[in-house]
């Protein structure tokens, strides 16, 4: 999705005006809406301590480097085959988010499948990292403003709680088969306490990369 040109102009203006503005203060256009900057370190795993210990053991035993992985899910179940040769497998799936330069790759979700403790399959394309630095050009304030503008443009909720923003990287070619990775510095913006809506913006110019209101239509 492409954000309207007036919003790009607004982003550039806000970036130039907000260099010294704190994230918890008023936004540059005078809007005092709540704004929070979020940082999710690679060590902030979303699974419990026992599951983490199991995942650590699986990766170590199979020679998989996990330093840039944040665990976001773990599943274990018994898998039986109903055809010869009949067998029962101890199947474990570890879901991770990838990091580079200490920042989240927003499109970097991978699933690792293990059977009887041995690596079996990986779903998702692993990142090759980036030569980009970890310093943003935009500010939390400017991203908050263009996100609220996008909410208004695409019919966001009338009552808008605190906006939460996070700086990281986004693969512009994510989901495109046989396309090489194209990481850019980016921001994720969402409403505090809500899974949807959320959006991703390019860091340099504040262009909208992707907006999701959570509505799914099935035919």
Give the pair of three-digit tokens for residue 153. 């443009």
Q: How confident is the model at residue 219, as a pLDDT? A: 65
Give the pair of three-digit tokens for residue 219. 């035919």
Q: How many CB atoms within 10 Å of residue 191?
A: 21
Domain that holds residue 65: 49-123
Q: Are 160 and 177 in the same domain?
A: yes
Q: What is the pTM of this model?
A: 0.81
Please give the tally of structural domains in the chain: 2
Quick: pLDDT tens for 205-216. 999 999 999 887
Q: Are 157 and 187 in the same domain?
A: yes
Is the preceding omega at residue 152 within 30 degrees of 0, hence cis? Answer: no
Q: Are 172 and 197 in the same domain?
A: yes
Helix axes 140-153, 5-17, angle to 10 degrees: 160
Q: Do the Cβ atoms of 191 and 150 come closer than 8 Å?
A: no
If pLDDT is split at 50, 70 and 90, which confidence band does 158 have?
A: low
Beta-bridge partners for 161: none
Indicate whether 218 belongs to any domain: no
Quick: pLDDT tens for 9-46. 333 333 333 333 344 444 444 344 699 999 999 999 99
Q: State the Cα–Cα distance between residues 27 and 6, nearest whole angstrom.
A: 18
């Amino acid at each position: 999705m492409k954000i309207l040109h007036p919003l790009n102009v607004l982003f550039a203006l806000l970036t130039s005006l907000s260099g010294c503005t704190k994230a918890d203060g008023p936004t540059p256009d005078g809007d005092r809406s709540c704004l929070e900057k979020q940082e999710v370190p690679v060590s902030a795993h979303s699974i419990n301590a026992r599951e983490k210990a199991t995942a650590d053991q699986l990766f170590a035993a199979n020679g998989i480097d996990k330093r840039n992985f944040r665990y976001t899910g773990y599943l274990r179940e018994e898998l039986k085959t109903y055809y010869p040769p009949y067998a029962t497998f101890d199947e474990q799936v570890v879901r991770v988010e990838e990091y580079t330069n200490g920042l989240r790759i927003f499109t970097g979700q991978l699933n690792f499948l293990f059977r009887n403790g041995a690596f079996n399959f990986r779903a998702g394309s692993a990142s090759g990292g980036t030569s980009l630095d970890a310093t943003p050009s935009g500010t939390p304030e400017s991203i908050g403003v263009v996100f609220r503008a996008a909410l208004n443009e695409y019919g966001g909720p009338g009552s808008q709680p605190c906006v939460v923003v996070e700086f990281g990287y986004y693969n512009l070619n994510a989901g495109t088969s046989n396309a090489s990775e194209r990481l850019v510095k980016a921001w994720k913006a969402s409403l505090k306490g809500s899974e949807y809506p959320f959006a991703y913006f390019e860091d340099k110019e504040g262009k909208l990369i992707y907006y999701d209101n959570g509505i799914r239509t099935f035919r």
